[in-house]
């Protein structure tokens, strides 16, 4: 059991989510300031004593109009470094959406393995531990870091949303690619547990090269069933639409899509107009600022703050 005081900081760009997490923890966010300089440089510092504290820094790292993913990463790194220099006993970076988590392996000769370089940066500024939610590949994430990591999955968060809607229905959990099969399986098990009834599984073939996506095979039985496609993130929406088309072609009666992080690049307009999908569910790890306000009737946004708060409590009380 850690008896050092817990301080939770929320970088300005992640303030809304950090406030919610603090509420769940029944604490106030710790005070800090961030300043921008005329030349584009910046600084952040704690405005309270952190010596001996178990400090958590919440920074979700999607790019937006104000700050790129690189900016957010850089700000979080520098602030974590400042906390270490100010004497924090332990600093944990809480990254609900961790940027570059998709670039976890070489897909072309001489490709960068950017997840590993990001890990090295966190370690270089003295971060003791990193919490991330629903990364692209858990094993790659864990192996990239030498410091301890804590992966937060969203299977139960999503299953809790879907269970009341799908009770009494014949349901199948679908992964839109082979790499996501474990994620869909976790969701399937969570949903089966909540429904107290069998939930099927299926997955889709997908290859991506130079931005071109191919593969049409759908393995698993979706005929006459409600399909729930599960992914880590929605970027352009292309992956989900391909999987939705395959499910419809194979006889699914309804198709829902669910992902933890909704980047919705370009607004992903087809996702919100396509008759292939009955609904899209994401969490608030990334705010849906790119989605047109008149397209949101199909969109459900779940609050990830309780899931994140539980991870912080577990980290503070445990390892
Ligand atoms: C890739 O393997 C990821 O898990 C997602 O499936 C992918 O990033 C989604 O991208 P998009 O929405 O552009 O198809």
Residues with CB under 6 A from ligand 1: 102, 136, 176-177, 179-180, 231-239
Co-location of 56 and 193 in the same domain: no
Question: What pLDDT does 245 receive?
Answer: 96
Q: Is the pLDDT of residue 210 over 60?
A: yes
User: How far apart (Å, rounded) are the C-alpha atoms in residues 2 and 318?
Assistant: 7
Q: Out of 239, 259, 262, 290, give the residue to mutate to test ligand 1, the one with the largest number of ligand atoms within 8 Å of its CB.
A: 239
Q: Is the pLDDT of residue 137 over 90?
A: yes
Co-location of 149 and 160 in the same domain: no
Question: What pLDDT does 229 receive?
Answer: 98
**298 DSSP 8-state letter:** G
- Evaluate whether 246 touches 229 at the Cβ level (below 8 Å): no
Co-location of 105 and 215 in the same domain: no
Residue 233 Cα to ligand 1 midpoint, Å, equals 6
- Does 209 or 187 have the greater pLDDT score? 187
Co-location of 67 and 204 in the same domain: no
User: How far apart (Å, rounded) are the C-alpha atoms in residues 174 and 36?
Assistant: 45
- Evaluate whether 79 touches 61 at the Cβ level (below 8 Å): no
Co-location of 159 and 191 in the same domain: yes
Query: Residue 75's Cα: distance from chain center in Å?
Result: 19
CA separation, residue 108 to residues 103, 176, 187, 208 (Å):
11, 22, 31, 11
pLDDT category at 85 given cuts 50, 70, 90 is very high
Note whether residue 1 is domain-resident: no
**97 DSSP 8-state letter:** S
Q: Report the relative pairing of strands 218-219 and 212-214 from DSSP bridges.
A: unpaired
Co-location of 165 and 296 in the same domain: yes
CATH code for the domain of 51: 3.40.50.2020
The structure's pTM equals 0.96
- Evaluate whether 262 touches 240 at the Cβ level (below 8 Å): no
Question: What pLDDT does 216 receive?
Answer: 86
Q: Is the pLDDT of residue 300 over 70?
A: yes
Residue 223 Cα to ligand 1 midpoint, Å, equals 25
pLDDT in tens, 61-73: 999 999 999 999 9
Co-location of 115 and 147 in the same domain: yes
Domain that residue 60 falls in: 6-153+306-317
179 Cα nearest atom in ligand 1: 2
Co-location of 89 and 124 in the same domain: yes
Catalytic status, residue 182: no
Question: What pLDDT does 23 receive?
Answer: 98
Nearest of 89, 257, 127, 275 to residue 180 by alpha carbon: 257
Note whether residue 203 is domain-resident: yes
Question: What pLDDT does 296 receive?
Answer: 84
Q: Where are the beta strands (DSSP E) in 5-53?
A: 6-10, 32-36, 42-46
213 Cα nearest atom in ligand 1: 14
pLDDT category at 215 given cuts 50, 70, 90 is confident
CA separation, residue 281 to residues 21, 131, 157 (Å):
20, 22, 11
Q: Is the pLDDT of residue 170 over 80?
A: yes
With residue 92 as reference, give the H or E element that holds it.
strand 90-95
Let me know if 253 is exposed, middle or buried by CB neighbors in 10 A (0-12, 13-18, 19+): middle
CA separation, residue 147 to residues 132, 144, 151, 299 (Å):
13, 9, 13, 37
Question: What pLDDT does 264 receive?
Answer: 97
HSE toward the beta carbon, residue 86, CA cutoff 13 A:
20
Q: Out of 231, 259, 265, give the residue to mutate to test ligand 1, the one with the largest number of ligand atoms within 8 Å of its CB.
A: 231
Residue 92 Cα to ligand 1 midpoint, Å, equals 27
Question: What pLDDT does 2 receive?
Answer: 65
Q: Is the pLDDT of residue 133 over 90?
A: yes
Note whether residue 100 is domain-resident: yes
Co-location of 284 and 193 in the same domain: yes
Residue 5 Cα to ligand 1 midpoint, Å, equals 39
239 Cα nearest atom in ligand 1: 14
Q: Out of 140, 205, 232, 269, give the residue to mutate to test ligand 1, the one with the largest number of ligand atoms within 8 Å of its CB.
A: 232
Note whether residue 105 is domain-resident: yes
Note whether residue 199 is domain-resident: yes
pLDDT in tens, 177-206: 999 999 999 999 999 999 999 999 999 999
Residue 239 Cα to ligand 1 midpoint, Å, equals 6
Task: Give the active site residue among 84, 103, 206, 225.
Answer: 206
206 Cα nearest atom in ligand 1: 2
Rounded to 10 deg, the angle between the 114-124 and 69-85 helix axes is: 30
Average pLDDT, whole number, for the chain?
96
Q: Is the pLDDT of residue 1 over 70?
A: no
Total of domains in the chain: 2
User: How far apart (Å, rounded) are the C-alpha atoms in residues 57 and 78?
Assistant: 11
Co-location of 115 and 208 in the same domain: no
Residue 77, SS3 per DSSP: helix
Co-location of 52 and 148 in the same domain: yes
Q: Report the relative pairing of strands 32-36 and 42-46 from DSSP bridges.
A: antiparallel
pLDDT category at 237 given cuts 50, 70, 90 is very high
Co-location of 243 and 220 in the same domain: yes
User: How far apart (Å, rounded) are the C-alpha atoms in residues 37 and 266?
Assistant: 30
- Residue 182 has a CB neighbour count (10 Å cut-off) of 14
Question: What pLDDT does 319 receive?
Answer: 54
Question: What pLDDT does 318 receive?
Answer: 74
- Evaluate whether 149 touches 142 at the Cβ level (below 8 Å): yes
């Amino acid at each position: 059991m850690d008896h050092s005081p817990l301080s939770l900081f929320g970088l300005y760009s992640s303030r809304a989510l950090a406030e919610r997490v603090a509420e769940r923890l029944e604490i106030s966010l710790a005070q800090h300031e961030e300043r921008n300089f005329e030349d584009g440089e910046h600084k952040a510092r704690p405005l309270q004593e952190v010596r001996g504290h178990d400090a958590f820094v919440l920074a979700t790292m999607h790019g937006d109009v104000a700050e790129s993913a690189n900016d957010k990463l850089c700000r979080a790194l520098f602030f974590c470094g400042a906390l270490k220099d100010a004497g924090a006993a332990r600093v944990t970076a809480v990254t609900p959406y961790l940027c570059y988590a998709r670039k976890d392996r070489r897909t072309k000769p001489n490709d960068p393995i950017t997840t590993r370089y990001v890990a090295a940066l966190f370690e270089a500024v003295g971060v003791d531990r990193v919490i991330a939610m629903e990364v692209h590949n858990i094993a790659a994430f864990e192996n990239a870091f030498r410091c301890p990591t804590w992966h937060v999955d969203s299977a139960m968060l999503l299953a809790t949303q879907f269970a009341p809607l799908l009770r009494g229905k014949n349901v199948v959990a679908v992964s839109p690619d082979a790499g996501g099969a474990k994620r869909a399986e976790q969701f399937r098990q969570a949903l089966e547990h909540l429904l107290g009834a069998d939930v099927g599984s299926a997955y889709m073939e997908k290859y991506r090269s130079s931005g071109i996506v191919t593969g049409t095979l759908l393995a698993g039985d979706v005929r006459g069933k409600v399909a729930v496609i599960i992914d880590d993130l929605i970027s352009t929406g292309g992956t989900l639409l391909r999987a939705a088309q395959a499910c419809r072609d194979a006889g699914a009666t309804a198709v829902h899509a669910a992902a933890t992080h909704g980047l919705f690049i370009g607004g992903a307009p087809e996702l919100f107009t396509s008759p292939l999908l009955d609904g899209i569910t994401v969490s608030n790890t990334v705010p849906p600022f790119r989605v047109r306000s008149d397209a949101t009737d199909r969109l459900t946004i779940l609050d990830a703050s309780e899931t994140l708060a539980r991870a912080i409590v577990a980290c503070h009380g445990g390892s």
